[in-house]
Amino acid sequence: MSMGDKTMNAGSGAVTETGAGRTQPGWSKRLAVQPLFMCGFRPFFLLTALYAVLVLLAWAGFLGVDLAVPAVAGGPFVWHAHELMFGFGLAAVAGFVLTAVPEFTATPPFAPRVAVRFVLLWLAARVAFWMSGGLAAVAGGWLGVADGLPAAEWIGHLPAALLNIGFACALLVAVAPRLWRDPERRQLGFLWGLAAMAAAVAGFHLDVLRGEYPMRWVLAGLGVMMTLVVVAMSRISMRVMNDALDAERARRLPAHTLRHDEEAELELPSYRARPPRRNLAIAAIAGYTVAEFLLPGSPITAWLGLGAAAAVFNLLNDWHVGRALFTRWAFLLYAVYWLLALGYLLLGLSHLGAPLAPSAGTHLLAIGAMGLSILAVLCIAGRTHAGYPLDERPWVGVAAASIAIAAVLRAASGLPDVPVPALQLLAALAWILAFALAAWRLGVLFVVARVDGGAGCEEYHEPGAAEASLR
């Protein structure tokens, strides 16, 4: 597989050919020179936002007016869960790692045609899964329905299984060598996370092929996603929090004393995402995920869920640094951890017998922690790597608040004696609003060439930054 090769991307026109005798179709080459494929995150972050809207529109139709969703093995809930976890979620992960791994490991960026191939594979996986029910029906017609039903389902699901597992594995194969060869191997957390994610995808589809109900693998995938969120957020948060603290220091000191760095340093602590606390949180989440998989609904799982909640709350010790926390980007990331902790708290309580459905906690994690962290990554990594400064316009606040509201509404629908359909429909609409805004406000940047003259993934640099650091 040549997806992992380190072809230097020299900009718009220069797509290096691998192997002399190989002919590439012209359309794929033409696709690769589009600005959309300049860097791996661009197509995937756009698809992430668009797909979030599309899946939830279909789901809102199903909940509200009984519109059919694509028939897949396991039923509509499996479709909903799989597409949001392994479609939407994995697209965001793909965009993130295709951009961040070269940066973190100081290796050359992935060439545009790598992005093209991944996007095509992802789209094919989506189409195959959506059509798997239809394909099974066609196969059933050929085989004669009487005794051929399991076989027909098997045939119908096979393309979806191959393409989805293929996508997750290809992603792992593409970034694994770089993560592994990194001298200090500081980014191995991503490698284990991606490997576990690929295992969850494979487990899901193998369960379907064996005729079993595959939902437990979606929950496992959600747990893996939560650990990836903690790992990825620690990388982003260092930057965001210390920027916020710097701004706070500058605000406290009159301009003419700005030179006395030491005094300012003494006043405010600097923020460090400390590994011990992070590792405890990751281990606690992993422990809960394994327990939930092996012993669903057991009180052991419940205590581990409460432990995971406490471990995530423990992570917030690093974050309590005063007013700087209440700036836009710092608070956005901070809210992700709260939703993460509260999600595990609700899961633990529901397994202990509290009168609420486990799906309340699951959705606080999936909508709240996953959705909000993906929005944060889209906004922060997406904009800076597209050559723009962080977005200070109000839509970010509206989108983030919508996701938080969606998470709370969906979680509330798991309480006893509430109007469940209305709450779920409202939650779906809030989610659609958030990601429609993101698709519009960020998508317009991703489909056009960079305005700062950049031709790849390089980050935005403040025009005055160089002089400021010299001062």
Partner 1 sequence: MILLRAWLAGLPAYLWSGWGAIASLCLLLAAWEAVSLVYGPLVMPDPRAAFATLWGLIDSGAAWPELAATARRALSGYALSVIAGSVLGLIAGLSMTASMMSRPLVTVLMGTPPIAWLVLAMLWFGASDGTPVFTVFVASFPVIFIGALQGTRTLDNQLHGMAEAFRLPRRMMIIDVYLPHVVSYLFPAWIAALGTAWKVVVMAELLATQDGVGAALAVSRSHLDTAATMAWIAAVVGLLLAVEYLGLEPIKREVERWREQGA
Q: Which residues bind partner 1 (CB under 8 A)?
A: 277, 280, 284, 287, 291, 298-300, 303-304, 306-308, 310-311, 313-314, 316-317, 320, 352
Smallest gap from residue 234 Cβ to partner 1 (A): 16
Write down the residue that tokens 């001062």 correspond to. 471
The smaller minimum CB distance to partner 1, of residues 345 and 411, is found at 345
Smallest gap from residue 325 Cβ to partner 1 (A): 13
Buried b (16+ CB within 10 A) or exposed e, 329-343: bbbbbbbbbbbbbbb
The smaller minimum CB distance to partner 1, of residues 134 and 299, is found at 299
Tell me the C-alpha to C-alpha distance, in Å, between residue 166 and each of 7, 84, 117, 171.
22, 18, 12, 8
Q: Is the dihedral of CA 369, 374, 379, 381 positive or negative?
A: positive
Largest CA distance in the chain: 85
CB 372 within 8 A of CB 339: yes
DSSP state of 213: -
Query: 438: burial class by Cβ within 10 Å (0-12, 13-18, 19+)?
Result: buried
Smallest gap from residue 342 Cβ to partner 1 (A): 13
Smallest gap from residue 304 Cβ to partner 1 (A): 5
The smaller minimum CB distance to partner 1, of residues 322 and 463, is found at 322
Tell me the C-alpha to C-alpha distance, in Å, between residue 433 and each of 56, 69, 215, 440.
10, 20, 27, 11
- Structure tokens belonging to residue 453: 């003259």
The smaller minimum CB distance to partner 1, of residues 29 and 277, is found at 277
The smaller minimum CB distance to partner 1, of residues 308 and 432, is found at 308
CA–CA separation, 414 and 409 (whole Å): 9
DSSP state of 185: -
The smaller minimum CB distance to partner 1, of residues 153 and 318, is found at 318
Smallest gap from residue 354 Cβ to partner 1 (A): 12
CB 23 within 8 A of CB 399: no
Smallest gap from residue 310 Cβ to partner 1 (A): 4
Smallest gap from residue 241 Cβ to partner 1 (A): 16
What DSSP assignment string belongs to 268-318? SPPP---HHHHHHHHHHHHHHHHHHHHSTT-HHHHHHHHHHHHHHHHHGGG
Tell me the C-alpha to C-alpha distance, in Å, between residue 42 and each of 75, 220, 440, 466.
32, 28, 13, 27
The smaller minimum CB distance to partner 1, of residues 119 and 284, is found at 284
The smaller minimum CB distance to partner 1, of residues 62 and 313, is found at 313
CA–CA separation, 206 and 220 (whole Å): 14
The smaller minimum CB distance to partner 1, of residues 302 and 404, is found at 302
Smallest gap from residue 282 Cβ to partner 1 (A): 12
The smaller minimum CB distance to partner 1, of residues 280 and 339, is found at 280
The smaller minimum CB distance to partner 1, of residues 186 and 320, is found at 320
Residue 390, classed as helix, strand or coil, is coil
- Structure tokens belonging to residue 12: 């718009």
Write down the residue that tokens 């959600």 correspond to. 222
- 185 backbone dihedrals φ, ψ, rounded to 5°: 50, 45
CA–CA separation, 375 and 407 (whole Å): 13
Smallest gap from residue 300 Cβ to partner 1 (A): 5
Tell me the C-alpha to C-alpha distance, in Å, between residue 275 and each of 105, 189, 279, 339, 376.
19, 12, 6, 21, 22
Smallest gap from residue 266 Cβ to partner 1 (A): 14
Smallest gap from residue 376 Cβ to partner 1 (A): 23
